[in-house]
């Protein structure tokens, strides 16, 4: 995305932003990078022209209440809403076409994550089967998705064991499912360790609650 950057204040602006004219020419540059890279460069979005910031402000009180009631931890990183539940991780952002999109965490090994300023940088894929024009709409989807996966996360239990091949597939799938569940437990622990705002008592309680819930699921299905 093409942006106009005030290097003195480390703020980037979109085309047409009224703040561009106020940038000192000594600190003015233009950049054209993937939206996610601007945060890594240490740049912040302009509050006047960011569609994400505008949308979040409209829904902020509803988002806070919903996340509190559903033990969801969220954090804003640049123009991205990072979301952690007891079961998985997500992110919500506007793509370059101006559409609000939901992305789901890849099943990545916990110790391969990179960190930027205390934030764990994960890899995600487009959750293309859902669309919403509101953040709350996506949060509702996330809660329903996690509840479904919690009760349908052990594919190996569906195998009929009446042949050698099926018994082999059973063992292979069980190993894969248990590994995935174990990774999520370690992911929560690493997030707990890396989060630079963990002094928040309420946030720590949610982390611990999510960890206990995930351990119970792993024990039940392991």
What's the Rg (C-alpha) of the chain?
Answer: 20
pLDDT of residue 63: 96
Q: Taking residues 161-170, what's their average pLDDT? A: 67
% of the chain with per-residue pLDDT over 90? 41
Single out the residue of 57, 56, 40, 44 nearest to residue 3, CA to CA. 44
* 124 in Cβ contact with 110 (< 8 Å): no
β-pair partners for 2: 32
- DSSP class of 79: T
Whether this model's pTM surpasses 0.75: no
Specify the DSSP element, H or E, that contains 77.
strand 73-77
Q: How far apart are CA 53 and CA 20, in angstroms?
A: 18
């Amino acid at each position: 995305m093409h942006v106009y950057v005030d290097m003195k204040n480390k703020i980037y602006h979109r085309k047409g932003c009224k703040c561009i004219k106020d940038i000192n020419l000594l600190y003015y540059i233009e950049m054209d990078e993937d939206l996610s890279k601007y945060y890594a460069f240490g740049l912040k979005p302009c509050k006047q022209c960011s569609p994400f910031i505008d949308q979040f402000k409209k829904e902020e009180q509803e988002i806070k209440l919903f996340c509190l009631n559903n033990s969801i931890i969220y954090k804003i990183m640049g123009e991205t809403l990072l979301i952690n539940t007891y079961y998985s991780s997500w992110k919500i952002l506007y793509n370059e076409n101006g559409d609000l999109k939901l992305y789901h965490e890849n099943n990545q090994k916990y110790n391969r994550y990179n960190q930027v300023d205390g934030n764990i940088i994960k890899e995600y894929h487009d959750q293309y089967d859902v669309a919403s024009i509101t953040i709350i709409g996506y949060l509702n989807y996330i809660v329903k998705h996690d509840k479904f996966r919690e009760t349908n996360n052990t594919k190996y239990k569906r195998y009929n064991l009446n042949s050698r091949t099926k018994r082999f597939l059973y063992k292979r799938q069980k190993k894969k499912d248990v590994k995935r569940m174990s990774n999520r437990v370690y992911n929560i622990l690493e997030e707990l360790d890396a989060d630079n705002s963990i002094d928040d008592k309420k946030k720590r309680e949610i982390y611990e609650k999510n960890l206990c819930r995930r351990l119970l699921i792993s024990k039940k299905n392991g």
